[in-house]
Amino acid sequence: MYGHDKARPGAADWGNYRTAENLKLELMNIPSIVFLTVLGVCVLLVLVIWSIRRHVNPKLRVESETSIKDLVPSLAGLTLSTPVHGNSVEVLENGAFFDLLIERIGAARHTVHFETFLWKDGVLGRRVAQALCAQARAGKTVRVMLDATGSKKVGKEVVQQMRDAGCRVEFFHKRSIYTIGILNDRDHRKIVVIDGREAFVGGHCVVDEWLGNAEDGKHYADISVRLHGPIVHTIQAAFSENWVGETGNLFVGDDVFPRLEPAGDVLIHAAYAKPESSAPAVKILHHSVICLARKKIWIQNPYFIPEIDAIKAFAAAVERGVDVRVMMPSTSGSDNPMVQHAGHRNFELLLKSGVRLFEYPHTLLHQKVMTVDGIWSAVGSTNFDDRSFDTNDEITLGICDAGVAEKLDAIFEKYVARCNEIKLEEWQKRGLWHKLKDNAFYLLNEVL
């Protein structure tokens, strides 16, 4: 029985009640539906962008009994380049590189083209900016290409100073709706071209840690090369690629592409192209020479994270009798210990295959160098990891010259004398926490 103050609900009242409750539940579900829809769209966009930007990995099955010296035309052709005769090469180390570079910028008669990934405000950055500004004020054409991510700490005052002086300063892949699909693609090249006649390529960054002579843990070691001869046209072409891509501005004439006479007897080819839906040239180059080596492969690289195919290629090289050695900074010497831990993940495979691994604990060894068979050398901006091989814009020079290889090997021996060589038995005993970090950071190896 119902109380006198309440009426018994009729069928219509129950129907209205249920309708109201259903409407309430539907309204409550709308945020979940919207969230799931947005999430689905985001996942779809990520998949679309990934499918557009991905590159096909080359199969590492290059076999030849021919000397790598005689295979330079093949290496150049495979990497969308051409071998260029008649060049000179000067190997430059550590802070002395910038002493010469700033001097040569000051000697420019017509044009200075400057491209780099990492530029931080500091003593070195202001020295370089002042040299560029002086030339721009003197009426020279100065073009500066900085990566928007790597050079985000260049300093607004420094950029404005250069622009006020007349330098044209551009940033590669600034964050915007128009670059959402390529924000992860960075310009990692380090290139300077003066008057179209002289070029510098290597690993040096415009940061105070690159000053000095790697004499302590605060200053880094690095290698770049100074070039004269017809190869300078190729380096200028590499600079123009991203300059045109960001500005639409084409430059022509003798001030940028002069007629170049032979300046030496060194044969050089350059790898920098990154075609869509194919393996980038720097990846093909590095992996091919591993397969073609017959005597030795000595690598100096700050970020060494080889994939399984490369590890197999190293193992096959050792089986052929090749002396394979890799020198890199330790976690204590690195500017990014996560990268070193990611590389550690596959150390055991490398050690079991006979590759010798050396870690330098005293400072960052930033040089990106590989010598093969005492005759061919790779020098440039490319790290031995997937970010450099598949994502970044890079440049690596293939230099066929025994004298250059000898100088680079001497630098290897200078630093390896203070390295710790990793031994398999000791490595297998490293702690669980070390192993966990190795495997965890390896999951991020493509974006580190």
Cα–chain-centroid distance for residue 376?
21
Q: Which of 113, 204, 233, 368 is catalytic?
A: 368
* Catalytic hit among 147, 185, 222, 373: 373
Residues 6+ apart with CB under 8 A from 200: 92, 97, 101, 104, 190, 191, 192, 193, 224, 225, 226, 227
Residue 333's alpha-carbon distances to 159, 245, 294, 336, 374, in angstroms, are: 31, 36, 32, 9, 28
Encoding tokens for residue 233? 């046209």
Query: Which among 121, 147, 185, 195 is annotated as catalytic?
Result: 195
Pairwise CA distance, residues 153 & 148, whole Å: 9
Number of residues assigned to the chain: 448
Q: Provide the 10 A C-beta neighbour count for residue 409.
A: 17
Is 190 noted as a catalytic residue in this protein? yes
Listing DSSP states for 352-421 in one string gives: HHT-EEEEE-SS-B---EEEETTTEEEEES--BSHIIIIISB--EEEEE-HHHHHHHHHHHHHHHTTSEE
Report the Cα 278 to chain-centroid distance in Å: 18
- Is 254 in the active site? no
Residue 317 structure tokens = 């090289």
Catalytically annotated residue among 120, 173, 188, 269: 188
**429 catalytic residue (yes or no):** no
Q: If you search the block for the tokens 């680079």, which residue do you land on?
A: 408
Distances (CA, A) of 17 to 1, 7, 8, 276: 21, 15, 14, 61
What are the tokens at 334? 């690195």
**Amino acid residing at 53:** R
- Cα–Cα distances (Å) from 366 to 209, 217, 273, 331, in that order, read 11, 13, 23, 13
Indicate if 188 belongs to the active site.
yes
**Active-site annotation holds for 113:** no
End-to-end CA, the chain: 74
Closest residue by Cα to residue 183 from 216, 155, 213, 147: 147
CA distances from 68 to 76, 245, 398 (A): 12, 34, 11
Among candidate residues 140, 190, 228, 344, the one labeled active-site is 190
Amino acid identity of residue 117, one-letter, is F
**258 Cβ contact list (under 8 Å, min separation 6):** 195, 196, 197
Q: How many whole angstroms separate alpha carbon 150 and alpha carbon 163?
A: 19
In the residue annotation, 312 being an active-site residue is answered as: no
Active-site annotation holder among 204, 366, 407, 437? 366
Active site residues: 188, 190, 195, 366, 368, 373
